[in-house]
Amino acid sequence: MDIIHDNDADLSVLNGKTVAVIGYGAQGRAQALCMRDSGVNVIIGVRPGKSFDAATQDGFQVMTVAEASAAADIIHILLPDENHGAVYENEIKPNLAAGKTLCCSHGFAYVFKTIVPPADVDVIMVAPKGPGTEVRRVFEEGFGCPGLIAVWQNPSGNARNVALGMAKAEGLTRGGVLECTMQQETYEDLFGEQNVLCGGLVDLMKYGFETLIEAGYPAEMAYFECVHEAKLIVDIIYNKGIQAMNGVISNTAEFGEYYNGPQILGPEVKDKMKESLKRIESGEFARVWLAEAAAGAPNLKAKREALGEHPVEIVGAKIRSLFERK
Ligand code: NDP
Ligand code: MG
């Protein structure tokens, strides 16, 4: 894949355009602040409440979602994915007109059809590959978080240039941008978070922690071994790769990796991952999640609450407070 950098993108495509950032949460705030710092005319559309107050505090012109959508050329929807459909139907769709652009940072709503856009608007994705706090932090350092862009539909013929201009305004082309399809981004993003990053990693940590404490080992030490130290390992992999990480751990640890890793996570795990990918690509996961969200997310809330009572969280809070830099 080609990597797109600053020189390949032109900010001037946004001259005279108004970008409405819809939602002012993790991504909305970070992306809006970066675009504003790059000279883009940004307004915010959000409902009354915490986010509304935060955007006002940050000096933005803040309106309802409907008003911001009506006033904007580019409507960048940064709401929780499960809310895109309803907010789009009620507040955004009535304020669309030919020639406007819909933008998102995750293709979920388009790929799983909670938004079915009219044919005469451009639809693009500009997706930083990092949490909002990271997007903003790296931008303030004068660099940029890497990101992805995609074009879903392009009646104007200019959709890709607008996506690149926005990516540049957010600093993403400084970090490097990959161009993909919205299906690729959506399926890969869901796969990664369900199998490796969130689902996967969290379960691995919890199983390790539980195994040690059930065998009578001190919980504090189990927390260090199975949770705390993961950051140290991942940081080295992030900066230098897996082999370099193996180069700084002991030979004993490296031999243990080869000896025991496949006994814990054998090929059957990969078979299960293939099934997970099928559930994502077929839309089964999206159906389950959207039904859960529509019912008020009872299972999500119950799991959230149960996790708060798990010893890994209780011991973790204690350990982190002991080792906090005062
Ligand atoms: P957050 O939950 O942090 O923020 C959501 C925002 O939407 C809040 O400002 C919230 O306001 C507002 N909102 C929610 N419902 C409504 C509504 N009905 N009407 C008006 N405003 C509403 O979401 P994220 O920033 O995490 O995610 C936004 C998008 O970015 C998603 O598509 C996500 O997939 C994508 N993304 C997220 C990444 C991440 O790391 N978090 C990374 C890359 C992409 P209120 O305070 O009123 O609830
Ligand atoms: Mg993700």
179, HSE (Cβ side, Cα atoms, 13 Å): 14
The separation between the first and the last C-alpha atoms of the chain, rounded to the nearest angstrom, is 45
Write down the mean pLDDT value for the chain.
Answer: 97
Neighbours of ion ligand 2 (CB under 5 A): 189, 193
State the catalytic residue, choosing from 84, 106, 228, 310: 106
**What is d(CA 302, CA 130) in angstroms, rounded to the nearest whole number?**
27
CA of 189 to the centre of ligand 2 (A): 5
Output the CA angle 81-142-189, nearest 5 degrees.
25
Cα 141 to Cα 28, 174, 179: the distances in Å are 19, 11, 24
196 alpha carbon, closest ligand: 2
pTM beyond 0.75: yes
Segment holding 255, helix H or strand E: helix 251-264
Which residue has a Cα nearest atom 16 of ligand 1?
Answer: 79
- Counting ligand 1 atoms within 8 A of each CB, the residue from 22, 43, 46, 188 with the most, and so the one to mutate, is 46
CA of 293 to the centre of ligand 1 (A): 14
- The answer for residues whose C-beta is within 8 angstroms of residue 213's C-beta and 6 or more apart is 219, 222, 311
- Counting ligand 1 atoms within 8 A of each CB, the residue from 78, 89, 106 with the most, and so the one to mutate, is 78
pLDDT value of position 323: 78
326, HSE (Cβ side, Cα atoms, 13 Å): 3
Does residue 326 register a pLDDT over 70? Answer: no
Kindly state the average pLDDT of the residues 103-114: 98
- Whether 171 contacts 143, CB under 8 Å: yes
- The answer for residues whose C-beta is within 8 angstroms of residue 152's C-beta and 6 or more apart is 107, 110, 117, 123, 124, 125, 182
Neighbouring CB atoms inside 10 A of 1's CB total 6
CB 146 near ligand 1, within 6 Å:
no
Tell me whether strands 74-77 and 147-153 are parallel, antiparallel or unpaired: unpaired
- Whether 149 contacts 160, CB under 8 Å: yes
Amino acid identity, position 121: V
What are the structure tokens assigned to 239, written together? 């900066």
At 18-61, the pLDDT tens digits run 999 999 999 999 999 999 999 999 999 999 999 999 999 999 99
Kindly state the average pLDDT of the residues 102-120: 98
**What is d(CA 186, CA 190) in angstroms, rounded to the nearest whole number?**
6
Does residue 319 register a pLDDT over 90? Answer: no
Amino acid identity, position 294: A
- Whether 181 contacts 150, CB under 8 Å: yes
47 phi and psi, to 5 degrees? -80, 160
CA of 190 to the centre of ligand 2 (A): 6
3-class DSSP assignment, residue 23: coil
CA of 131 to the centre of ligand 2 (A): 9
Which residue has a Cα nearest atom 14 of ligand 1?
Answer: 79
Atom of ligand 1 nearest to the CA of 87: 18
- In this prediction, residue 325 has a pLDDT band, given cuts at 50, 70 and 90, of confident
pLDDT value of position 31: 98
What letter would DSSP give residue 224? I
Does residue 322 register a pLDDT over 90? Answer: no
Region label for 182, one of left (φ > 0), alpha (ψ between -120 and 50) or beta (otherwise): alpha
Does residue 153 register a pLDDT over 70? Answer: yes
127 alpha carbon, closest ligand: 1
- Whether 182 contacts 110, CB under 8 Å: yes
CA of 252 to the centre of ligand 1 (A): 45
CB 80 near ligand 1, within 6 Å:
yes
Residue 76 known to be catalytic:
no
- Whether 116 contacts 145, CB under 8 Å: no
pLDDT value of position 282: 98
